[in-house]
Amino acid sequence: MIFWCIFDLPEKKVQLNKLEIESEDPNLWEDRQRAQKVMKKIVDLRDEIKGWEVFSNRINQSKEIAEFDDESFRNELESELIAIEKELDERELQTLLSGQYDRGNTLLSIHAGAGGTDSQDWAEMLERMYLRWIDKRNYSAEILDRSAGEEAGVKSVTIAVTGAFAYGYLKSEKGVHRLVRLSPFDAAHRRHTSFAQVEVLPDISDDDEIQIGQDEVRIDVFKSSGAGGQNVQKNSTAVRLLHIPTGIIVTCQNERSQLQNRENAFRVLRAKLLEIKREEQDKEMALMRGIYQKAEWGSQIRSYVLHPYQLAKDHRTEFESGNVNGVLNGELDGFIQAYLKAFN
């Protein structure tokens, strides 16, 4: 079948066999980091192979039903074929996600841009959009930190997204998102343009690649606060980290436990440091090739226009949708697929 060519199942089985033999080496755990990566790869490959074998059985069963040529099965068979075609497209897309962290979880942050209440409201609209998309894919979402706006919306929010290929899919959303609409916060109801920046990082909470020394971080604790400055609790449970070498500041205050907020803050900090490391490596490679260009705040990746017409358009792939309300309700797969096909 064609999909075996896409996936190359025999090669995956060969890889799995080699890793399983390596995992039986009694000296493997002398290098803990290497051992963890081997075991994770084994789990990933087993899941992939099992998934494709189950999918193959579905196709074979549908083929057997079709060979009966029984009209009473027609509606059921047509529905199953549509589902199979959809899953095949999804699995074919996943073959593009071969990066080191593509299969794993992700940390997604949204930051309101300049523009006051309008931009903060736009940031909250994006938060809702991504939470809807996460729910549609049956992923799980955990709010690690959320800073509410003074009047409406959010100044920033960080969401931990858990699910297979969460980072691989959502990495397409990294960048500046632009909204054009009639402002609900303008008494004259004039048209406003708002910006928000989306940051997408691999969640490496169970990875040893980034090590942070105790003397590299200053830790402050303070009382969690909600909208209007009201204290959520009387105890100082919120945590702020300052990474001294880079100046990166991470705040987490969504949990009631100071320990949990501290763990989540370090989780985000490790992801940010990994991103810096990867950007430096990419820059070095790009400079060698003579194509390096720094990404700036002003270069939006996508525009969402609600007035004077309705259109959501990705400026990198030219993919667009006239159903902006659908997009804002989490219908992002078209944009994600177009990005993956263009840049992988």
Structure tokens at 311: 């259109």
Q: Is residue 259 exposed (0-12), middle (13-18) or buried (19+ Cβ within 10 Å)?
A: exposed
* Per-residue model confidence as pLDDT tens digits over 303-328: 999 999 999 999 999 999 999 999 99
The position carrying tokens 């799995």 is 16
Q: Is residue 7 exposed (0-12), middle (13-18) or buried (19+ Cβ within 10 Å)?
A: buried
Q: Which residue has the higher pLDDT, 60 or 291?
A: 60
Query: What strands lie across the sheet with 300-305, from one edge to the other?
Result: 140-148, 154-162, 106-112, 191-202, 175-182, 300-305, 311-314, 320-321
The total of structural domains in the chain comes to 3
Q: What are the strands, taking DSSP E only, across 43-96?
A: none
Other C-beta atoms lying within 10 Å of the C-beta of residue 318? 9
Residues 140 and 178 grouped into a single domain? yes
Q: What is the CATH number of the domain that holds 78?
A: 1.20.58
Residues 152 and 185 grouped into a single domain? yes
Q: Within 104-239, where are the H helices? A: 117-136, 166-170
The position carrying tokens 């949204």 is 110
Residues 319 and 185 grouped into a single domain? yes
* Per-residue model confidence as pLDDT tens digits over 269-283: 999 999 998 888 777
- Element spanning 143, H or E: strand 140-148
pLDDT higher than threshold 60 for residue 226:
no
Pairing of strands 175-182, 300-305: parallel
Task: Please tell me the least confidently modeled range out of 34-43, 63-72, 88-97.
Answer: 63-72
40, 66, 94 - which closes a domain: 94
pLDDT higher than threshold 80 for residue 138:
yes
- 72: domain range? 2-94
Residues 221 and 337 grouped into a single domain? no
Q: Cis link prior to 308 (omega < 30° from 0)?
A: yes
Q: Residue-wise over 140-159: b if at least 16 C-beta within 10 A, else e?
A: ebeebbbbbbeeebbbbbbb
Find the mean pLDDT for residues 181-186. Answer: 91
- Indicate whether 268 belongs to any domain: yes
pLDDT higher than threshold 80 for residue 21:
yes
2 pLDDT tier (thresholds 50, 70, 90): very low
